[in-house]
Amino acid sequence: MQSRTLGRNGLTVSALGLGCMGLNYGYGPGVDKAQAIQLIRDAVDAGVTFFDTAEAYGPFTNEELVGQALAPVRDQVVIATKFGFKDGLVQQGMDSRPERIRAVAESALKRLRTDRIDLFYQHRVDPQVPMEDVAGAVRDLVAEGKVKHFGLSEAGVVSIRRAHAVQPVTALQSEYSLWWREPEREVLPTCEELGIGFVPFSPLGKGFLTGKIDASTRFDPDDFRSIVPRFTAEARQANQALVELLERIAATRQATPAQIALAWLLAQKPWIVPIPGTTKRTRLLENMGAAAIALQADELQRIDDALAHIQVHGERYPPHLAARAGK
């Protein structure tokens, strides 16, 4: 697979990474540990070198399985993890105090079976802790060799600039896809100005852009999409126009809607690295195939022209989660 560089300090990764969260967290019952480990190793075999986890996924169990899966190839891959929630529990709210950041790093190193964290993200901006203190804590860990690169997740422009002034930010991770283009307004221009890479999570619209979800789909009570306004049955029905657009483009390329959605992201900037997740090997290989699809200017224009006439229905987060993004 082709590689891309995040930031200005030489963090080189595969053009597509693997988001590991859904293997055991967030989307209802996960897969068993052995199956999850095998899928991660299948990704390595497919050329993926960039793997995303977090202490909050589980909590802790996702880091453990990622660490076990990648231990045999540790020096060939880049592992990203995150700090920022109290005791690793999302429902407990944020905690990015410097002493907590250090404690998370020390624990994550053990769970990941490694001596360094390649990319350490603040999971969400903590309004109670100055960004300068957060960046300073990570800067200290970088100086000690325990962390290689600093990242932010779902941060707004002001926070990005404040952090970057203390410790260079290598990558910003935020939601970005054909049905959530908000980063194009301010965040992507800021990343380009400062030399920060961009890592889109949910690049397939939490599965919707694959074309495998419709108004009749039923979600597990533990699947967080069950509380997302954009995933009500009414919104899913209204948003089928977006999937139909992808299906039309895919048909001309002998590709799938998911591959076109990922190829569209890859075409936006050379420093964008999407991290689609999956629990199935067939979907993993399908997603990775998108890296070989180079959409042409006329195809990109056709997509943009069509999107101008498609209104996406439903908010991407319920209010209590939306309040944590873009700070």
Q: Which helix (H) or strand (E) holds 285?
A: helix 281-288
- Rounded-to-integer distance, Cα 135 and Cα 168, Å: 9
- Rounded-to-integer distance, Cα 204 and Cα 210, Å: 7
Over range 97-117, report the average pLDDT: 98
Sign, CA torsion 226/229/233/238:
negative
Residue 167, pLDDT > 90, answer: yes
Which residues are the active-site residues?
57
Over range 104-112, report the average pLDDT: 98
Q: Following DSSP, what letter does each residue of 108-134 receive, concatenated?
A: HHHHTTSS-EEEEEESS--TTS-HHHH
- Set out the domains of the chain in order of their start, with CATH numbers: 3-205+257-293 (3.20.20.100)
Exposed/middle/buried for 229, CB within 10 Å: 0-12, 13-18, 19+? Answer: middle
Over range 102-108, report the average pLDDT: 98
Q: Angle formed by the axes of helices 257-268 and 297-307, to 10°? A: 100
Phi, psi for 83 (deg, rounded to 5) = -120, 170
% pLDDT > 90, the chain: 95
Which one-letter DSSP state was computed for residue 312?
P
Exposed/middle/buried for 320, CB within 10 Å: 0-12, 13-18, 19+? Answer: exposed
**pLDDT per residue as tens digits for the range 179-195:** 999 999 999 999 999 99
CA distances from 130 to 85, 136, 139 (A): 15, 10, 14
Q: Quick check: pTM over 0.95?
A: yes
Beta bridge partners of 169: 150
**pLDDT per residue as tens digits for the range 247-296:** 999 999 999 999 999 999 999 999 999 999 999 999 999 999 999 999 99
Q: Look over the chain and give the mean of its residue pLDDT values, rounded to a whole number.
A: 96
Classify residue 195 as left (phi > 0), alpha (psi -120 to 50) or beta. left
